[in-house]
Amino acid sequence: MKRFLLVAGLWSCTLSLSWGDAVLTLPDLLRKAREQNPDIQAAERAWKVQRAQTGAASAWPDPTVSFIDERFPHGSSDAPPEKIQHYRIEQPIPFPGKITQDTDMKRHEALIAEAAYRVRVLDVFNDVKMRYFQLYLTDEKIKLAAQAVEVMRSALGTAQGRLAANQGGASDVFMAQGELRLMENQLFEQQQQRTLIVIELNTLLNQPTETPLGAAQAPALRDVPATRAEIQTLAERNAPLYLSALHETNHSKAMQKRQRLEYAPDFGIMYEYEKADMGDSGRQIGVSMTFPLWFQRPWGLNQSAEEHVLEAQANAQAMKNMVLKMVGTEYTEIQTHLRLARNYESDILPAALANLRVTRQSYAAGQGDFLRLLEAFRTWIERHNEYQEQVYHTGEHWSELERWVGVDPSQAKEALEQTKWDKLENGHAHQ
C-alpha cells in the first residue's frame, strides 16, 4: 500500500511547502558529511599522525657528533699555547628487541586511531541520519497539520452555515473555532521544529545554518536480511568500538614485552680523532654499556604493564558484551517498529480514514453530530502521526544497528561472506 495515498485521499487539496520541491537524498548528505564535517576530518588527521609515527619509531637513536677545540698553556709565557682539536662521533645501540617492540606499540596505536576514526564517521553518519529522518517526520506532520487547518476552516464554515439555518447550535461554532486555533498552533510548532532540525543538520554538514534544505524521504520499511546471531557475529568482526578495545589489548601486550627489556643494557660505540698543532694526531675507539643499576624502575614498569594488560582485556570483554547487547537490542527494536508500521498501513490507517469519511459525509448532510466529526478527525490525525512515528523509529534503529555493527545491516550476508574469504586467504598466507 502506498502510504502517502492515504493522506492524499483524505482531501483533494494540494499544498506548496515553503522549502520547495527539492528532494534531499541521504547518500548525498552522508557524502557531504564525510568530506566536510570537521570532527571526521580531525579524527582522520589523528589517525594519519599515528600512522606516520610508526615509521619513525623503527629508526635507531640519532648519533652524536661533537667538536672540541682545546688550548693548553705552557709553563713559559713566551711559548704559545698548545692547540688540540677533537672530532668525535657516538652511536647509541639499543638492546635487540627494544626498537621492534617500540614499533609494534606504535603500530597498534595507529590501529586504535583508525578504529577511533571509524567510530567518529559512524557517529556523525548516525547523527545525520537521525536529523534526516526527523526532517521527514516533521515534514509529514506539517503536511497533515496544514491539511487539518484547511479542513477545520471548512468545518467552521459548515457549522456557521448550519447555525444561520437554525440547524445547529453555537457550541459547534465555538468548538470549531477553538480546534482551528489549536491546529494552527500545532502547524506553527512543527514549522519551528523543522527550522531547528535544519540548523542541526547544516551544522553537521559544516555549512551555514540558514542553508535551505529540501524534503527528506521516508525510511524504507524492510526486514533485516540476516538472523540476530549472524548480525552479532558480523559485529564481533567489524564493530570499530570492539576492534579498538582489541587493539588496545594488543598494544598493552607489546608494552609489556617492551617493559621487560628495561632490565637489559643498552650499548654504544665511539670514535674520536685528535689533531694537535704540532702535527701530532691520534684516535680513540671505544664501546659503552648502560645498564639499570636501580632495579626499582624496571620492576615498577613491569608491574604497571602487567596490570595494564589485565585492564585492557577486561575493557575488551566489557566492550564486546556491550556491542552484542546493543546489537540484540537494536535488532529487536527494528522488528518491533517494523511490525507496528505495517499493521498501521494494513489495518489501522484505512479504518481511521474510512471512519472519518463516513462521519464527515454524515455531518455535511446534516445527519451527524459535530462532536463525532471532531473525534473522528482527531483520531485520524493521531493515528497518522503514530504511523509516521513508527516509520521514523524503524529508520532510527536501522541507523543505530549500523553504528554498532560497523557495516550496513542490509549488506550483512555479503559482509559475512567477505570475512570468510578474508580468513581463508590469511590462513593460506600464514601457511
Chain centroid offset of residue 410 CA? 18
pLDDT of residue 359: 86
Count Cβ atoms within 10 A of the Cβ of residue 133 and give its class: 0-12 exposed, 13-18 middle, 19 or more buried: buried
- Whether 107 contacts 348, CB under 8 Å: no
252 pLDDT more than 90: yes
In a domain, residue 281? The reply is: no
Lowest-confidence region among 112-126, 329-343, 358-372, 417-431? 417-431
Out of 216-225, 256-265, 272-281, least confident range: 272-281
Q: Mean pLDDT over all residues of the chain?
A: 85
Asked whether residue 82 is assigned to any structural domain, the reply reads no
Cα 175 to Cα 162: distance, rounded to the nearest angstrom: 14
Establish if 254 belongs to a structural domain: yes
How many other CB atoms are found less than 10 A from the CB of residue 12? Answer: 6
* Residue 39 predicted with pLDDT over 60: yes
**Residue 225, domain member (yes or no):** yes
Q: Which amino acid is it at 105?
A: M
425 pLDDT exceeds 50? no
- The model's confidence at residue 3, banded by pLDDT at 50, 70 and 90, is very low
pLDDT at residue 324 is higher than 60: yes
- Asked if the structure places residue 161 within a domain, the reply is yes
The mean pLDDT value for 290-297 works out to 86
**Range from 4-13, 80-89, 181-190 carrying the lowest mean pLDDT:** 4-13
Of these ranges, 181-185, 299-303, 319-323, the one predicted with the greatest mean pLDDT is 319-323
Sign of CA dihedral 13, 192, 39, 244: negative
Task: Give the pLDDT confidence score for residue 10 in this predicted structure.
Answer: 40
Residue 167 lies in a domain: yes
pLDDT at 74: 66
Query: 109-130: per-residue pLDDT in tens?
Result: 999 999 999 999 999 999 999 9
**Worst-scoring range by mean pLDDT, 40-54, 175-189, 197-211?**
175-189
Other beta carbons within 10 angstroms of residue 158's beta carbon come to 20
Q: List the CATH number of the domain containing 54.
A: 1.20.1600.10
- Report the pLDDT value the prediction gives residue 428, as an integer from 0 to 100: 41
Does some domain include residue 302? Answer: yes
pLDDT of residue 344: 94
Is 287 a domain residue? no
Task: Give 49's pLDDT tier (boundaries 50, 70, 90).
Answer: very high
Q: How confident is the model at residue 307 (pLDDT cuts 50, 70, 90)?
A: very high
323 or 76, which is more confident?
Answer: 323
| Per-residue pLDDT tens digits for 197-237 | 999 999 999 999 999 999 999 998 999 888 999 999 999 98
Residue 148 has pLDDT above 90, yes or no: no
Work out the average pLDDT over 182-186.
88
Cβ neighbors of 64 (< 8 A, separation 6 or more) are 88, 89, 90, 91
CA distance 345 to 388: 10
**140 contacts 217 by C-beta, under 8 angstroms:** no
Q: Length of the chain, please?
A: 431
**93 or 159, which is more confident:** 93
In this predicted structure, the answer to whether residue 310 has a pLDDT above a threshold of 50 is: yes
Element (H, E) at 240: helix 240-260
Is residue 368's pLDDT more than 80?
A: no
Q: Which of 2-6, 91-95, 162-166, 274-278 has the highest mean pLDDT?
A: 91-95
Give the total number of structural domains in the chain: 1
Residue scoring higher pLDDT (103 or 360)? 103
**Cα separation, 150 vs 147, whole angstroms:** 5
Q: Provide the grid cell at 253.
A: 601486550
**How far is residue 336's CA from residue 403's CA, in Å, rounded to a whole number?**
19
pLDDT of 415 reads: 72
What is the reported pLDDT for 414?
78
Q: Which structural domain, as residue segments, surrounds residue 197?
A: 3-62+96-265+295-430
More confidently predicted of 361 and 251: 251
Confidence of residue 373 (pLDDT cuts 50, 70, 90): confident
Out of 35-49, 341-355, 414-428, pick the least confident. 414-428
